[in-house]
Structure 1
Amino acid sequence: MEKANITLYTVIGNPERIATAIQDRYKEMTQEIKSENGNIALTLVDDTVINFAINHQQDKPDFIASHTAGMANYFASAETQLVELKESVLRQIRVFNCVTGITFEIDNNEDRTSYIINCIYAIANDVNGFLLYPNMQIYTKEGKLLFSIQGESQLTEFIPIGNADLLDMNRPEEAPADTERRLRSIAQLKKKEIPYMEQLRSEALESEVCLRSREEMVKRAAALFAVAVYSEVILSEDSDREKALFYFNKMNDLYGVKSYLTQKETAYIEDPEPEQQTCIQFVWRYECCGALLWAAGVVDDLSYPSEIIDVPVLAAIFWQHKGIQYLLSKGYSRPQTEILDAADLTLRYDWACVEARIHGKEAPAGLDGGIVVERHYAFNWIIGANENADWDEIQPNT
């Protein structure tokens, strides 16, 4: 008989959940199960064996680090038009912390093979996992091709995900203020009939928050606006890089944005022929810009994320002011509590949008998933989530 190999990847705090899922999904056809040091040998009623080798970061950190780095480097070499999706897949690979190798024998009984593979997908569903086949194709738990070494995918977009038990591992308990904030957010979701996960905790509790200064927020907003304006001109019908650079340099003259661009932003501006998808990604940063100006107290309102930001209004704010300090003088220090409330609600909006997308549904209550994920990204940076990560390293988990 031919031997088959499938690998399950996930982000999970307690690997015992995988062992539990294995036992549960195969229980109807299990004759015997042996488990030792993360290795599970499951004997089916036909006397054949399925082997599971569970390797988790908490037990084998070097193995996981080496394995995921090698996997990311391998898929980074794939040529594809799906540039943004590829980058999201690479981010997902880099945060995998549990690798489960699955081996079993294939015979001529197609029903048996289908049963084994269907159970593997059910296990992936139980633990929010992804499956890698020997031909280097990664599949979602729903059985859709996420990405292949040929650069193919059945998806048009993908947002990296993590498991709540991992995200909450080694974190402090919610303080009363955190619990009250979560309940306030849920009350707003209920009013709009937006699905939610009751125990989803914010990405930064009050005890963990490291709020960026108003000046940092405004500088970041100015840089994002400059890059977004550049991108908008590049994407226009009469695309002209010289014209795009004119507007970018005008922003630099007013705000000195070149000195606080990120590494990725600098590389993008210096690229004479950027990919269209990359331009689209950066033009979406208008939404981040709006969230940053609101958090910095420069603008008063943060609208419900159903309609894209009014770019002419945003442009007027920057073109009519003459530098960072002048812009700061027109604003005020928004209370931390207000910023954390908005960040928490945005996280839950994003969870609802991702959940809808996974199940092939429209985002609920008129939410625009693109707007929501950009705001989520901005708020994570503002509140110092992801261990106070730099802008390019933010990971808006849901």
Structure 2
Amino acid sequence: MKHFTIFVSKNDMDDIESKISDVFAKVYAIKKNENEYSIKSKKLFNNHKITIRVASEDTNPDYFETNIPGMMGFYDRIPFEDENRKGLVMTQISVLNTMIAIETEKDMTDGQMQLFTKLLSQIGGIGFLPNGILLDQEGIVIIYPDGRSGPSAFKPHACTRKVLGPEVTSEEGERRRNKSIAFLTETGIPFLKGLPQLPPSGQCSFQTQEAIARRAVSLLIVIQYACDVAQGKQFDESKHFFIGMLQRFGVEEYLTENERQFLQEEEPNRKEAISISWQYEAYWTLIWALGFVETLNFPDQVCDCEYAIQVVSSCETFEQFYIQTAMRNKEEIMDEADKTYRLHWACVNSRIQGEDAPAGLDESIVMERRRGLFWMIGHRDEEWDTISMDT
């Protein structure tokens, strides 16, 4: 076997050269010509060359336009014994955008194979062998060509560029990102420099002050009902009371579709109730934006639920509540959204590594804050229930 190919979903190729050097430089001399690397042993009587070619959708668009569909067709024809694994493999192939093709002059040795899988581990992605075997980034078999599953606990990975499209940059977005990174650095939280900017505030479809206020009131009311359900209380009486509250404040139309269904269920789902009750943290961002909360503290402790309730319960009508609001400026909200986005990446990254979130972060709090902030700025015009949580 003379060929080993690494496929990966990456935002850019900037770190590939350093990873090739890390793996091969101790034993091999490396010469680079554009995106091709010629690698020869430093031993006197071993002149067999290894060639590594690097390509991406940017540098070789025709290759990816032709070969990725061909690769998908090849694995689609394999009789997978596990249809779920087939779905994972097909998903991974669909987002590949970078290739590292390795070719040896003679059949590769076990020692070379170890180096190639080490490079795979450094870069990530999947390893493709000419016989159709797919390896995960640790070199463990995902699938055999006869459809048998390997022992890999494989999950697909997509870079933000494939999920979100090419990054749109601006001076404002870069200033905001740098401000967030300075905060993360100061608090000792890891960050991904390549995580995309948020768009400048002028390109965002901000919710109006009134829409935020009405959403805040409707959300708090449905949260109170969800808390009763989660605690096993008599929900019929509770439902009647909180539907009356929605009507009194005139905010029924600001419920989401999921919330409407939850209120209409004859036997409300306790798991769904718990999920909705966590949205106290999203509600907290709304009342922060409306001026009721001075600062969004570091997200390692749940919000002050008693105060969160009192903000609305002290009012008899929506108008009485609304007249007390004092909307923060768009830049403040955008800054918090950007910071929370990067805190969420740190939480997800730690979870993937099997580690606790850094600095005591609570990922559930961070996620719900992100929901509220991204909804307010109109990120991608997504609805409340479907705010994407990609990192």
Interval containing the TM-score (normalised by the shorter chain): 0.5 to 0.7
Matches within 5 A, 1:178-327: 179=175, 181-197=176-192, 202-236=197-231, 238-243=232-237, 245-272=239-266, 276-327=270-321
Secondary structure of the residue aligned to 2:201 is coil
Q: Distance in 1 between matches of 2:215 and 2:321?
A: 13
1:117 and 1:320, CA in 2 relative to 1: closer, same or farther beyond 3 A? same
Q: Distance in 2 between matches of 1:165 and 1:352?
A: 18
Per-residue displacement from partner, 1:21-66 (whole Å, max 9, x unpaired)? 996687579999xxxxx9x9x9999x9x999998859958999999
1:332 and 1:256, CA in 2 relative to 1: closer, same or farther beyond 3 A? same
CA drift of 1:290 comes to: 0.5
Q: Which residue, 170, 187, 195 being the options, matches 1:172?
A: 170
Alignment correspondent of 1:85? none
Alignment correspondent of 1:389? 382
Q: Distance in 2 between matches of 1:350 and 1:192?
A: 14
Matches within 5 A, 1:26-37: none
Q: Distance in 1 between matches of 2:268 and 2:134?
A: 28
Q: Distance in 2 between matches of 1:352 and 1:112?
A: 35
1:185 and 1:116, CA in 2 relative to 1: closer, same or farther beyond 3 A? closer
Please tell me the residue identity of whatever aligns with 1:391. Answer: W
Q: Distance in 1 between matches of 2:328 and 2:222?
A: 26
CA drift of 1:289 comes to: 0.3
8 Å Cα contact 2:161-2:167 kept in structure 1: no
Please tell me the residue identity of whatever aligns with 2:170. Answer: P
Alignment correspondent of 2:44? none
CA drift of 1:295 comes to: 0.7
Alignment correspondent of 2:120? 120
Per-residue displacement from partner, 1:76-103 (whole Å, max 9, x unpaired)? x97xxxxxxxxxx9xx989947487999
Q: Distance in 1 between matches of 2:18 and 2:263?
A: 48
8 Å Cα contact 2:24-2:115 kept in structure 1: no
Please tell me the residue identity of whatever aligns with 2:229. Answer: I
Instruction: Single out whichever of 265-274 and 301-310 deviates more from structure 2.
Output: 265-274
Unaligned 5+ runs, structure 2? 42-47, 76-82, 143-148
Alignment correspondent of 2:355? 361
8 Å Cα contact 1:297-1:333 kept in structure 2: yes
Q: Distance in 2 between matches of 1:280 and 1:102?
A: 48
Q: Distance in 1 between matches of 2:208 and 2:353?
A: 39
Alignment correspondent of 2:145? none
Query: TM-score scaled by structure 2?
Result: 0.64
Per-residue displacement from partner, 1:113-134 (whole Å, max 9, x unpaired)? 665544333321xxxxx65999
Instruction: Single out whichever of 329-338 and 341-350 deviates more from structure 2.
Output: 341-350
Per-residue displacement from partner, 1:132-168 (whole Å, max 9, x unpaired)? 99999998x898x9xxx9xx9899xx99972699676
Please tell me the residue identity of whatever aligns with 1:392. Answer: D
Matches within 5 A, 1:72-83: none
Q: Distance in 2 between matches of 1:96 and 1:44?
A: 33
Query: TM-score scaled by structure 1?
Result: 0.63
CA drift of 1:287 comes to: 0.2
Q: Distance in 1 between matches of 2:215 and 2:355?
A: 34
Matches within 5 A, 1:326-341: 326-341=320-335
Q: Distance in 1 between matches of 2:94 and 2:325?
A: 38
8 Å Cα contact 1:7-1:131 kept in structure 2: yes
Per-residue displacement from partner, 1:265-321 (whole Å, max 9, x unpaired)? 334444555665443332211100010111122443433322101222212223332
8 Å Cα contact 1:343-1:376 kept in structure 2: yes
The alignment of Structure 1 onto Structure 2 pairs a total of residues equal to: 360
CA drift of 1:183 comes to: 4.5
8 Å Cα contact 1:306-1:366 kept in structure 2: yes
